[in-house]
Amino acid sequence: MGYLRLEGRPVPDHIHAAAQRFRYHRRVLIAPPWPEIYEQDDERRQSFETARQTYESMVAAYTEYGYELVTLPCVPVEERLRFVAGWIG
C-alpha cells in the first residue's frame, strides 16, 4: 500500500484484504532515511527526498494496519546491530 500510494495509485480492495489477513509480527522495525550516510548508486536509485517520502508512506501504511513501529536508531553499524539483536532476541 505504501508504494502504491507513493506513486499516486489507488490501493485495490484485494490488497487491503490481504494486508488484514496476512500479518507480520505486531512490531515492525523501520529504518528512517539518514542524510549523513545516504548515497545514490545502481541499487539505490531514489533521491534522498523520494526516500524520505517512501519512509513516510510506509509509516502511514503500517500504522493504518495497526502495527507498532520500532525505529532503527541512526547510529554506527555495531550499535544498530545490537539494537536489532535486542528486538529479535
Cell of 61: 501504511
Q: Which residues of the chain have pLDDT under 50?
A: none
User: Which backbone phi and psi does 62 adopt, to 5 degrees?
Assistant: -60, -40
> CA of 60: how far to CAs of 37, 56, 76, in Å?
24, 6, 27
Helix (H, G, I), strand (E, B) or coil at 81: helix
Considering the chain, what percentage of its residues have pLDDT values greater than 70?
A: 100
Q: Are 24 and 61 contacting, i.e. CB atoms less than 8 angstroms apart?
A: no
- The residue written with cell numbers 527526498 in the block is 49
Mean pLDDT of the chain: 93
Q: Residue 30's beta-bridge partner residues?
A: 71
Percent of the chain with pLDDT over 90: 79
